[in-house]
């Protein structure tokens, strides 16, 4: 981290605290004591009113705890934020309504010239899911399921959840919340069956904290998952065209390891549950999507036969 970036980050760090010490700054930013003291002195010189407290446990406090310099964006930073807004439109992301107010505040900080640049970018740049006939920055469509934001708020305080669907109620420890093929999914560890399960957020009826006092500890869950990990039974070599397709879309659990310095070849490894017909069909569709630029190193015989049967129907 460059010095200017570090000092700006330290200013925001200490502004959110009523009290801090040099040792805390050293530990948080991995810097020496002399560097921490020097940075604090520069922050004081910039106008932040710090009050030193003497004594063995002394430190610093920020007077009124509310003084920060006005945030300034460079032209490139403004363009980066704007393009990020454009690229994430129509992606069923949470907090889209908050993004609208954020965009309005951002535009209010810009000069006329900067606003003109953004108008031009908005006319030229198109991303997947953007309507070429109407690509206004503040257009919000394709909102995610309302349960998504509620779920995020809960998991930020506690990952032990009790989720209810049409099929039943499940106590889980949330492992991942991810988006796959424009659908938000939950991967959780079932606290009673002690195995991993996947749920679609759209299918949730209710989500609440799981308050059972006999919850399995996080370390125990990690150990159980580690022992349940299956050996990869699908191994493929991917060429450049298949890698390009992989980057467009790939299932969450699939991993890719590049085998050339220019990322022109790669090795794909994953495990397919052969007793799950839906998973087999989805993987076959995806393998066909990758195209011909693949070499099969290892594949379950049942899956190979299913692919041949699929091809024979064309």
Among 209, 205, 166, 210, residue whose Cα is nearest residue 192:
210
CB under 8 Å to 179, separation ≥6 — which residues? 91, 92, 185
Question: What's the length of the chain?
Answer: 314
Tokens (6 digits) for 244: 């390009």
The pLDDT value given to residue 4: 78
Structure tokens given for 15: 């502004």
Q: What is the pLDDT of residue 70?
A: 56
* HEC letters along the chain: CCHHHHHHHHHHHHHCCCCECHHHHHHHHCCCHHHHHHHHHHHHHCCCCEEECCCCCCCEEEHHHCCCCCCCCCHHHHHHHHHHHHHCCCCCCCCHHHHHHHHHHHHHCCCHHHHHHHHHHHHHCCCCCCCCCCCCCCCCCCCCCCHHHHHHHHHCCCCEEEEEECCCEEEEEEEEEEEECCEEEEEEEECCCCCEEEEEHHHEEEEEECCCCCCCCHHHHHHHHHHHCCCCCEEEEECHHHHHHHHHCCCCCCEEEECCCCCCCEEEEECCCCCCHHHHHHHHHHHHHHCCCEEEEECCHHHHHHHHHHHHCC
pLDDT at residue 314 in the model: 61
Domains and CATH numbers, the chain: 3-65 (1.10.10.10), 71-143 (no CATH), 147-227 (2.30.30), 234-312 (3.30.70)
Residue 275: C-alpha distances to residues 95, 212, 235, 272, 298 (Å): 38, 33, 19, 9, 18
Separation between Cα atoms, residue 197 and residue 201, nearest integer Å: 13
Is there a contact between 140 and 106 (Cβ–Cβ < 8 Å)?
Answer: no
State the pLDDT at residue 196.
84
Please tell me the predicted confidence (pLDDT) of residue 116: 85
**Strand pairing category for 169-180 and 160-165:** antiparallel
pLDDT value of residue 132: 58
Q: How far apart are CA 207 and CA 197, in angstroms?
A: 16
The answer to whether the beta carbons of residues 138 and 103 sit under 8 Å apart is: yes
pLDDT score of 101:
72
Per-residue confidence of the chain (314 residues) as pLDDT tens digits?
678 788 888 888 887 777 888 888 888 888 888 898 888 888 887 777 777 776 555 678 777 655 555 556 678 888 888 888 777 776 777 877 677 677 777 777 777 788 888 888 877 887 766 655 655 544 445 567 788 888 998 988 899 999 999 889 999 999 999 887 678 889 999 998 888 888 889 889 999 999 877 788 888 988 888 777 677 888 999 999 999 999 888 886 777 889 988 889 999 988 887 777 777 888 888 899 999 999 999 998 988 888 888 887 76
- pLDDT for 169: 93
């Amino acid at each position: 981290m460059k010095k200017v970036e570090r000092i700006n980050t330290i200013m925001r760090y200490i502004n959110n605290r009523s009290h801090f010490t040099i040792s805390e700054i050293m530990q948080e930013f991995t810097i020496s004591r002399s560097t921490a003291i020097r940075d604090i002195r520069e922050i004081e010189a910039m106008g932040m009113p710090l009050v030193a407290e003497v004594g063995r446990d002394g430190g610093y406090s920020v007077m009124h705890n509310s003084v920060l310099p006005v945030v300034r964006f460079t032209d490139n930073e403004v363009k980066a934020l704007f393009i990020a807004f454009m690229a994430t439109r129509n992606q069923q992301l949470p907090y889209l309504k908050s993004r609208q107010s954020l965009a309005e505040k951002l535009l209010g900080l810009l000069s006329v010239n900067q606003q003109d640049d953004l108008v031009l970018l908005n006319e030229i740049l198109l991303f997947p899911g953007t309507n070429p006939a109407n690509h206004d920055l503040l257009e919000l469509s394709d909102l995610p399921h309302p349960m998504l934001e509620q779920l995020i708020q809960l998991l930020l305080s506690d990952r032990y959840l009790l989720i209810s669907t049409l099929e039943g109620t499940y106590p889980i420890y949330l492992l991942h919340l991810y988006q796959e093929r424009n659908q938000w999914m939950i991967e959780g560890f079932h606290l009673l069956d002690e195995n991993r399960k996947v749920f679609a957020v759209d299918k949730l009826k209710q989500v609440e904290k799981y308050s059972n006092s006999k919850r399995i500890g996080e370390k125990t869950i990690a150990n159980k998952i580690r022992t349940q990990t299956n050996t990869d039974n699908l191994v493929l070599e991917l060429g450049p065209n298949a890698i390009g397709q992989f980057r467009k879309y790939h299932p969450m659990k699939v991993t890719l390891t590049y085998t050339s310095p220019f990322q022109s070849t790669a090795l794909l490894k994953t495990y397919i549950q052969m007793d799950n017909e839906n998973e087999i069909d989805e993987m076959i569709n995806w393998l066909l999507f990758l195209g011909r630029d693949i070499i099969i190193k290892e594949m379950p015989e049942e899956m190979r036969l299913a692919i041949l049967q699929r091809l024979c129907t064309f």
